[in-house]
Amino acid sequence: MNKILKSENLRALRQLASESVELMYIDPPFNTGMVQKRRRMKAVRDDSSERVAFGGRRYRIESTGDHPRYEDDFDDYIGFLRPRVEEARRILTAQGSLFLHIDPRESHYCKVMLDEVFGRDCFQNEIIWAYDYGARPSKRWPTKHDTIFWYTKHPTHYTFNLAAADRIPYMAPKLVGKEKAARGKTPTDVWWHTIVSPTGKEKTGYPTQKPLGILERIIKVHSNPGDLVLDFFAGSGTTGVAAEKHGRRYLLIDQSPEAIATMRKRLNQRTAKSTNKTL
């Protein structure tokens, strides 16, 4: 059964049975010290504007206010995260995996904490999600990546279906020949993937929404059809969309009313589309 649960996540995790979830992905607040928000915009027909769209129509952009916002500031970030990760390890099945998505400001502290909770022998990969979008400061190298840590319940026995991974182009296709170039290669631990397009169909308006392609890769490789996927910082519900799309069950937990509303709308729309296709 798929479920969206409005709850403080530590309270909810403590009520889940041990060894009941095959895969977890979490994208907790990054402790940026800022208020996370995304401004909602809309295009309005305006014949006097300098902006020109398809067919020569002119328009202007208007703000319609801020979509969900929250304070991303913790006095003791690891103290906040650790009990939730401890519960996550308890809940994972024997061959289960946890993916923790964080940015470079806190990643090294998170790695030490994860080693302590899971054991260093259960660390499998530090995945770098690299993208190329946004501001470019002139006094340091622009930060254009996040870190995703992969830990397993058991150091050697875990779900890893590499054959299910999407294929990516070779950087030098002429060096590998036409056959290999046409087939593509499996990803490495550096994942080049664009952010959610500000004008794309995937966009929900949620301030920290992550791309569906990232979650699809994790879910297809690190779980099996019918497995339960848990995200207890569920936000915009991308984990649930990817799980449902690939025949996995999902449990999404968040205490934000805005997040719950975004998830329900997004997943209900997907269910409606799937039903219409079936009919």
Pick the closest to residue 235 from 16, 26, 8 (CA basis). Answer: 26
Q: What is the pTM of this model?
A: 0.83
Burial state string for 124-153 with b = 16 or more CB within 10 A and e = fewer than 16: beebebeeeeeeeeeeeeeeebbbbbbbbb
Q: Is residue 271's pLDDT more than 50?
A: yes
Bridge-based pairing of strands 70-72 and 51-52 is unpaired
Q: Which helix (H) or strand (E) holds 145?
A: strand 145-152
Q: What radius of gyration, in Å, describes the C-alpha atoms of the chain?
A: 20
- DSSP for 34-103, please give it: EEE--EEEEEEE-TT-SEE-GGG-EEEEEEEEE-S-EEE--SSHHHHHHHHHHHHHHHEEEEEEEEEEE-
Q: How many domains does the chain have?
A: 2
Helix H or strand E segment including 110:
helix 107-118
Tokens of 204: 């929900």
Distance from C-alpha of 159 to C-alpha of 202, rounded to nearest angstrom = 28
Q: Which of 222, 260, 213 is nearest to 241 (CA)?
A: 213
Q: Is the pLDDT of residue 72 over 60?
A: no
At residue 71 the predicted structure's pLDDT band, cuts being 50, 70 and 90, is low
Contacts of 215 (CB under 8 A, 6+ apart): 25, 238, 239, 241, 242
On whether residue 175 sits in a domain, the answer given is: no
Write down the residue that tokens 């403590």 correspond to: 14
> Is the same domain home to 60 and 106?
no
Q: Same domain for 94 and 212?
A: yes
Residue 70: what pLDDT?
42
Q: What is the domain range of residue 195?
A: 3-33+73-161+188-278
| Region of poorest pLDDT, from 24-38, 185-199, 231-245 | 24-38
State the CATH number of the domain containing residue 23. 3.40.50.150
Last residue of a domain, one of 46, 71, 96: 71
pLDDT at residue 99 in the model: 98
Task: Say if 176 falls within a structural domain.
Answer: no
Q: Are residues 67 and 196 both part of a single domain?
A: no
8 with 39, same domain?
Answer: no
Give the tens place of pLDDT for each residue, 15-57: 999 999 999 999 998 665 545 444 454 556 667 766 555 456 6
Q: Taking residues 227-235, what's their average pLDDT?
A: 97
Determine the number of helices (DSSP H) and then strands (DSSP E) in the chain: 7, 13
